[in-house]
Amino acid sequence: MVGSLGGYDMQFDFFTWFGGLWDWIYGILLWFWAIIKWLGIWILDIIDGIWILASIPENFMFLFRAIIMPGLIFLLLALIFTIWFTRKIWARIQDRRGPTHLGKYGGYQLFADAIKLMGKEIIIPDKAKAWLYRILPSLLLVIVLIPFAFIPWDPYWNIMGPPGAAYGDLSVSLVLVFALLTAVPVFSLLIGWVTGSKYSLIGGFRAANNQFAAEIPMVISSVGPAMLAGSLSLFSIVAAQTSIWYIVLLPINFATFMVASIASVGTFPFDAPVADSEIIFGWRTELSGIYFTVIYFAEFAEQMLYSALMVSLFLGGFNGLPFLPGIVNFIIKWLVVYFIFTVVTSSFYRLRQDQIVHLCWKYLIPLSILNVVLVMFAMAYLPWLVPLVVGG
Amino acid sequence: MSPDILDESCVIWFGPQHVSAHGWAAKLTLVGDYIVECDPNAGYFHRSAEKCLEFRNFRQGSMILERICMMEAFLGEYPYIAAVEKIADLEVPERAKIMRTIMMEFNRIHSYQFWFGQFAGELGLFAMLLWPWVDREYSLDAFEQLTGSRHTVSYATPGGVKYDFTPKFLSKMDIALSRCRNRMPLFDDMLAGSPTFRLRAEGVGQYTAKQALKWGLSGPNIKACGIPMDLRKDDPDPNLAYDMIDWEVPTIHNEDHPGECDAFDRLHQRFKEIETSLDIIEKLLPLLPEGPIIDPKARGKANRLPEGEGYGRVEGARGITTVWLKTMEKAQTPWRAKIRGPCFASYYSLKHIVPGARFADFPAIFGSLDPYPGWWDR
């Protein structure tokens, strides 16, 4: 045979080919097995590494604190209690009874509501950006939960620990908390923007407007405690309040901080972003099912966070009755502040957006500056006050 | 407005699925936060009440009327009864006249109690939404005691009323009215005394008396401008007891803007209306004579009416409510019925009041005008 192969007779031997097929399949299987084995070893190595890191006592305790107490699990339980507490207070003020049926005094109502909400169909509007719609609510919750790491619950048993410890509090934790909280209305605005409804877009801009109005008085109000304690670390501010709680020297700043924080959360007197008689449910209008649940939790977590910040900045944090553990002192004050917070939120008519800005800029900023300046003069002219204020 | 402003405008539908626009839809054109154009739309609540009336006899017809606006059910059903009585030329006993009037004022109080809650809820205070509604429950209990029905009382019938006042009803009415009277200072404090409420309601949705007359507003919306226009005084129905006693038409005269009213004045007007109604009931109760509550021959006379036209009108809680009936000879049903509700005027006046307001003030404006969609769609 003569052909283009140069006289070389090309013949396809089927049986030889078939015999080699097994080798070929076996090779592929080996190759896959190698990949699986490599992946398994890699994951085991990571677990190993984590275990090695976690088995160091400081690290293990940090993980325990961050996940269980006073970390995620504790916060979840506190959140469940807080929502029940809020609903009960609102109901009592509104001449109702609130949840009564599920559990003792309606304590399990939240579980029923959460299960109901999660069981609902998730309707993503055509005009919405679907992946942003899905991811933004959870990011919002994460952003709200991170600042809890810096709350000094107890002299020793914190997530971040005292400043000298292995995972000590940052020297600028107050600034970091405000930085994280500033991101919250950005998420509100984004959710309002991507969910593809005019109502939610207007609500998103109103949320941004609220933060725009409330942030400056809030930061100025927190300048007072930071200045008195000489530190921007939340733990150091609390530790400096062993002799005097700063609310004694900064009562106006406490009030302005509370009003500004309510405005920043965007709950009742300042609920223009979610005003139901104007823009249905504001930036939350199009959220449904689990996404709405997450947003709902984030709102209450933010209220809890602001109450905890008020306790740490003005009410002496873990300082209090000496025979009680620090965290118990903290939680008692936290409940009191949260109660006041909730009563304020259910006693006023909704303010318009321009009125919110007027209130925050015309009244809250001068008042908060006034209190800071007064305390500066007190420090300068009353020298016996200084050792009381810096603690010890 | 110049066209380049409208380039940046955004059209938003306020209704019909909106939570605070139940049964109506207004198309709003927004520029920034301001409303430049408001286009109220009717037709989302149509239940063809006028046609239904043509298939009901003269004792059943009033039950269609009271379903138009549940809050002022008795005030809504009475014009029909009045029209039937005019065609059939029925005499109403003295006792029934006074009982009708008492019930009418009681229903008016109930309607305003509902409205306070609704208005406060639209302005964002949920506590004030529920507090007047608790008082309202006592009024509803009294209605239930008298007629067996909480809202749709069907109390009047051609020639008199259906049920006599019982001691139990009188005590329940006394509880409801004294509770209303005692809680009025509290509500005054919660609404007019609240700084945040004044911020939201003062200077919002202003119009002058001249405009109100031009748009055909009536009831509290025009009395708030200082015009004492009240059918109870101007044209007292012969079968009601308003001319038996002395009372004053409540009006508002605001020193800051005489001859004008804003949302806050309209709220204040409704407070005064409640006080007037309490006053009227208090003066009428001792006048209640013994006697029959219905003319025994009326029942037969209302079965078949002679040919004629009847026009009944009453000062409702939201304004002048009228029913016109045309009957043929030996008619069992009206040949044609026409209902004129008070709220068409207040709803379409939004078109003139709203432009220039902020979007957040829109609930305050329509809430203070108190439009109820049943009255314009029927």
Is A148 a member of any domain? yes
- Is there a contact between B134 and A268 if contact means CB atoms under 8 Å apart? no
The yes/no answer on whether domain B48-345 falls in CATH 3.30.413.10 is: no
pLDDT of A366 over the 90 cut: yes
| Residue A8 belongs to a domain | no
Across the interface, of A90, A95, A355, the residue whose CB is closest to B134 is: A95
pLDDT confidence of A9, banded at 50, 70, 90?
low
- CB contacts of A350 in chain B (<8 Å) are 123-125, 196, 200
CA–CA gap between residue B319 and residue B372 (Å, rounded) = 11
Mean pLDDT for chain B overall: 88
Percent of chain A exceeding pLDDT 70 equals 97
Give the nearest partner residue to A349 out of B10, B124, B130, using CB atoms: B124
The stretch B246-268 carries a mean pLDDT of 87
Q: What is the dihedral angle through the alpha carbons of B92, B95, B96, B98, rounded to the nearest 10 degrees?
A: 110
**pLDDT score recorded for residue B3:** 56
pLDDT at residue A137, as a whole number? 92
- Residue A348 inside a domain? The answer is yes
Q: How far is B177 from chain A (nearest CA, A)?
A: 19
Partner residue facing B358 (CB), from A277, A347, A352: A352
| CB distance B280 to B247 below 8 Å | yes
Beta carbons of B130 and A94 less than 8 Å apart: yes
Dist CA A33 CA A21 (whole Å): 18
- Cα A171 from Cα A317, distance rounded (Å): 17
A348 chain-B contacts, CB cut-off 8 A: 125, 194, 196
Q: Out of B20, B194, B358, whose CB is closest to A349?
A: B194
Which of B221, B203, B181 has its CA nearest to residue B372? B221
B330: how many CB neighbours lie within 10 A of its CB? 10
pLDDT at B4: 65
Contact A351 B197 (CB under 8 A): no
| Residue A333 tokens, joined | 């004050």
Q: Which two tokens stand for residue A384?
A: 């016996």
Q: Nearest by CB to B126, which of A94, A199, A278?
A: A94
Nearest CA in chain B to A344: B125
Residue A44 above 70 pLDDT? yes
Q: Which alpha helices (H) appear in chain B, and where do they start and end? A: 3-7, 49-53, 61-65, 73-88, 94-122, 126-147, 167-191, 195-201, 209-215, 220-223, 231-234, 263-284, 298-301, 343-348, 350-353, 362-369, 374-377
Put simply, the answer to whether B125 touches A350 (Cβ < 8 Å) is yes
Q: What is the mean pLDDT of residues B31-55?
A: 88
pLDDT of residue B182: 92
Query: Nearest Cβ partner of A277 from B10, B196, B363?
Result: B363
Token code pair at residue B110: 């109930």
pLDDT in the model for residue A196: 85
Say whether A276 and B123 touch across the interface (CB within 8 A).
Answer: no
pLDDT of amino acid A167: 79
Substitution target in A349, A350, A354, A359 with the highest count of B β-carbons within 10 Å is A349
Mutate to test the interface with B, among A123, A200, A210, A278 (most CBs of B within 10 A): A278
pLDDT in tens, B177-209: 999 999 999 888 888 888 899 988 888 888 999
pLDDT-based confidence at residue B252 (cuts at 50, 70, 90): confident
User: What is the rounded CA–CA span in Å between residue A344 and residue A341?
Assistant: 5
Query: Under a CB-based contact definition with an 8 Å cutoff, are residues A129 and A200 in contact?
Result: no
Q: Please tell me the distance in Å from A260's CA to the nearest CA on chain B.
A: 16
Instruction: Give the A:B interface size as CB pairs under 8 Å.
Output: 78
Contact B121 A277 (CB under 8 A): yes
Numbered residues of chain A with Cβ closer than 8 Å to any chain B Cβ: 90, 93-96, 198-199, 202, 268-269, 271-272, 275-278, 280, 346-355
Please give the residue of chain B at the shortest CA–CA distance from A202.
B33
Q: Would you list the DSSP string of B236-267?
A: --TTS-GGGS---------SSSTTEE-HHHHH
Contacts of A355 (CB under 8 A, 6+ apart): B199, B200
Is A105 among the domain residues? no
Residue A351 has pLDDT above 60, yes or no: yes
Within a domain: A273: yes
Mean pLDDT of the A319-328 span: 87
State the nearest Cα–Cα gap between B51 and chain A, in angstroms.
34
Residue A46, pLDDT above cutoff 80: yes
Condensed to tens digits (0 to 9), the pLDDT of residues A182-235 reads 889 899 999 999 988 888 999 999 999 998 899 999 999 999 899 888 889 898
Return the top range by mean pLDDT from A63-67, A327-331, B294-298. Answer: A327-331
What is the tally of structural domains in chain A?
A: 1
- Residue A166 in any domain: the answer is yes
* Cα–Cα distance measured from residue A270 to residue A218, given in angstroms and rounded to the nearest whole number: 15
Contact B360 A352 (CB under 8 A): yes
CA distance B371 to chain A (A): 15
At residue A371, the pLDDT reads: 93
Name the 3-class secondary structure at B330: coil
Contact A198 B126 (CB under 8 A): no
Q: Closest Cα of chain A to B354: distance in Å?
A: 14
B104-122: burial string, b at 16+ Cβ within 10 Å, e else = bbbbbbbbbbbbbbbbbbb
Does A93 sit within 8 Å of B127, measured CB to CB?
yes
Q: Which residues of B touch A349 (CB under 8 A)?
A: 120, 123-125, 194, 196-197, 199-200
Give the distance from residue A92's alpha carbon to the nearest chain B alpha carbon, in angstroms.
Answer: 9
Q: Which of B298, B206, B197 is nearest to B254 (CA)?
A: B206
What mean pLDDT comes out for the span B237-257? Answer: 87
Chain B residues whose beta carbon lies within 8 Å of the beta carbon of residue A269: 124, 196
Shortest distance, CA B59 to any CA of chain A (angstroms): 40
Q: Which residues does B contribute to its contact with A (CB < 8 Å)?
A: 10, 12, 18-20, 33, 120-127, 129-131, 134, 194, 196-197, 199-200, 358-363, 367
- Would the pLDDT of A5 be above 80? no
Distance of CA A161 to the CA centre of its chain: 19
Shortest CA distance from A355: residue in chain B: B199
Place of tokens 């283009």: A4
Structural domain for A326, as ranges: 120-389
Query: For residue A310, what pLDDT band results from cuts at 50, 70 and 90?
Result: very high
pLDDT digits (tens, 9 = 90+) for B84-129: 988 988 888 899 999 999 999 999 999 999 998 889 988 888 888 8
Residue A275 in this model has a pLDDT that exceeds 90: no
Peptide bond into A155 cis (omega under 30): no
> What's the CA gap between B62 and B78, in Å, rounded?
7
Statement: residue A54 has pLDDT above 80: yes
Q: Contact, B368 vs B362, CB < 8 A?
A: no
CA dist B258 → A47, A198, A339, B227, B346 (Å)? 80, 39, 44, 11, 21
By the 10 Å C-beta count (0-12 exposed, 13-18 middle, 19+ buried), B343 is classed as: buried
Test A198 with B120 for CB contact under 8 angstroms: no
Contact yes or no for A288/A280 (Cβ under 8 A): no
Give the whole-angstrom CA distance, residue B362 versus residue A278: 7
**Residue from B336, B303, B340, B338 nearest B318 by CA:** B340
For residue A273, give the chain B residue with the closest CA: B360
Q: Has residue A323 been placed in a domain?
A: yes
Q: How far is CA A39 from CA A27, A42, A345, B220, in A?
A: 18, 5, 53, 78
Can you spell out the DSSP letters for A138-175?
A: HHHHHHHHGGGGG---SSS--SS--TTSTTPPPTTHHH
Show the tokens assigned to B229: 């226009």
Q: What pLDDT, on the 0 to 100 scale, is given for residue A207?
A: 92
pTM: 0.85
Cβ distance B127 to A280 less than 8 Å, yes or no, reads no
Q: What angle do CA A146, A149, A153 make, to 5 degrees?
A: 140
A120-132 residue pLDDT tens:
988 898 888 889 9
Helix axes A14-54, A57-67, angle to 10 degrees: 90
Instruction: Specify if A99 maps to a domain.
Output: no
Kindly list the residues from chain A whose CB atom is less than 8 angstroms away from the CB atom of residue B19: 276-277, 280
